[in-house]
Amino acid sequence: MADLRIVGRAVVDGRLIDEVTVEIDGERISSVNVGEVGSGPRLLLGKGQLLLPSATDLHVHLRDWNQAYKEDVFTGTSAAAAGGVTTVAEMPNTSPPIRSPEALRERLSLLAARAVVDYSVHVGALEKVEDAKRALELGACGMKLYPEDLERLEDYLKVSRESGMRLVVHAELEGGDEAKAVKMLLSRIRADDDIRFAHISRAESLRMIELAKEGLGARIKVEATPHHLLLSEEELDENSRRISAVRPPLASMADKQYVFSGLERCSVDFIASDHAPHTLEEKVSERRAPGFPGLEIMYPLMLTEWLEGRLKISTLLKKLCKAPAEYLGIPKGDIRKGFYADLVVFDTSVRWSISARDFLSKAKYTPFEGRKLSAKVVSVFRRGELVYNGCLLVKGGGMHVRELKHG
């Protein structure tokens, strides 16, 4: 007898099925069957409820350390859980930054103590091949290059080639030109380089990447954020505009539409939040700190795109769940026997408006404020354990993805 059976409507392997029984044993899914089968404890989904795999977000900033006033590992990963995201990959521009194996080790012990969801960490630009090798041994999932690192791109490409460390780039030149940076990067990389473009936002950039992907092969990967997929500079109201500063800046309607269409064309591989919290004071001050929280609303926002007919469910789940889990090499991201039971129950019969006041993130604002959604997170399971059910149910328990094994 399984520990729990979840019975109801679900999307399995990209297909919507009206009645499925998902059996959970310990941390994993032990069977998936059409119809109601088995006996023992049962969670029967209500009308309008839908069971989906939870998401993996490859691009988050959880702050903490010297910036714990903006966000900390506990509040950031609580926001993840509340948003149906049960695995996150952190970016290294913390204070102090994660630019050495020692800093990475320290970060991993903080995450082990405080994270509510499973995690991985990118390191910042490393200059020595030995350091990259040590970082890989510790489990780093990639090396993130920021605009200021691009001057020394050749050095980092060399480190990457010699160590096997994958690269992730924030492609923007000083002054903020994404397309120029993409062009420069594409001219320098080779077919066997493993490189992921973070938060691509411009049609011109994506067109160049599409050509290069065809020419160079599959090792180029592209992330897009919900804000670049769903918001444009032109559409913002006064209130959203106050806090909408972000890198890259929100683009035009045409850019937004082109990047969105890249989801179905498969030139956009991942949807990632770029959850980047600051205090409201930092946002509205002269400095206009770039970035805003996104973990809590990414999945409901994108699911609404499916419910309103603008995106296929199989595409959506591929970009939010399956592909990022594959990138991290973990058995998650689908409702499949042997995979971890990382699941989310959505209510798709409600209509609700985003209100950042309710965020578990310390940053309680969003340019999506007031937006109407057709999907709301009801409950979230992380490796078989109910971690969120309208409120957070755990104080920690997140694991380093390196510890997660194929079953």
Q: How many residues bind ligand NCD (CB under 6 A)?
A: 9
Query: If DSSP codes are grouped into helix, strand and coil, which group holds residue 392?
Result: strand
Contact partner, 11, from ligand NCD, Zn ion, none, Cβ < 5-8 Å per class: none
Rg (CA), the chain: 20
Q: Under rule CB under 6 A, which residues in 95-154 are in contact with ligand NCD?
A: none
Bridge partners of residue 197, in order along the sequence: 169, 222
Rounded least distance, CB 220 to Zn ion, Å: 17
Rounded least distance, CB 294 to ligand NCD, Å: 10
Rounded least distance, CB 285 to ligand NCD, Å: 14
Among 27, 71, 274, 296, binds Zn ion (CB under 5 A): 274
Extended strands (E) in 159-257: 167-169, 195-197, 220-224
Q: Under rule CB under 6 A, which residues in 303-332 are in contact with ligand NCD?
A: none
Distance CA 363, CA 381 (A): 24
In the residue annotation, 274 being an active-site residue is answered as yes
Rule CB under 6 A: say whether 371 interacts with ligand NCD. no
Question: CB neighbours of 321 closer than 8 A, spacing ≥ 6?
Answer: 52, 53, 54, 55, 56, 332, 333, 334
Per-residue x/- track, 262-291, ligand NCD (CB under 6 A): ------------x-x-------------xx
Nearer of residues 175 and 309 to Zn ion, judged by Cβ:
175
Query: If DSSP codes are grouped into helix, strand and coil, which group holds residue 102?
Result: helix
Rounded least distance, CB 217 to ligand NCD, Å: 26
Among 9, 28, 61, 256, binds ligand NCD (CB under 6 A): 61
Rule CB under 6 A: say whether 67 interacts with ligand NCD. no
Contact partner, 246, from ligand NCD, Zn ion, none, Cβ < 5-8 Å per class: ligand NCD
Per-residue x/- track, 74-103, ligand NCD (CB under 6 A): -------------------x----------
Rounded least distance, CB 280 to ligand NCD, Å: 14
Distances in Å between the Cα of 283 and the Cα atoms of 20, 128, 174, 359 are: 45, 36, 21, 17
Q: Under rule CB under 6 A, which residues in 157-216 are in contact with ligand NCD?
A: 170
Rule CB under 6 A: say whether 45 interacts with ligand NCD. no
Q: How many CB atoms lie within 10 A of CB 187?
A: 9
Per-residue x/- track, 135-174, Zn ion (CB under 5 A): -----------------------------------x----
Active-site choice (177, 274, 334, 347): 274
Backbone φ and ψ for 11, nearest 5 degrees, come out as -110, 115
Q: How many CB atoms lie within 10 A of CB 234?
A: 11
Backbone φ and ψ for 200, nearest 5 degrees, come out as -75, 135
Nearer of residues 31 and 93 to ligand NCD, judged by Cβ:
93
Q: Under rule CB under 6 A, which residues in 246-265 are in contact with ligand NCD?
A: 246-247
Rule CB under 6 A: say whether 14 interacts with ligand NCD. no
Specify whether the CB–CB gap between 223 and 59 falls below 8 A: yes
Distance CA 254, CA 94 (A): 33
Extended strands (E) in 61-137: 85-90, 118-121
Question: CB neighbours of 28 closer than 8 A, spacing ≥ 6?
Answer: 338, 339, 340, 341, 383, 384, 407
Residues that bind Zn ion (CB under 5 A): 170, 198, 274
What are the catalytic residues? 274
Residues that bind ligand NCD (CB under 6 A): 61, 93, 170, 246-247, 274, 276, 290-291
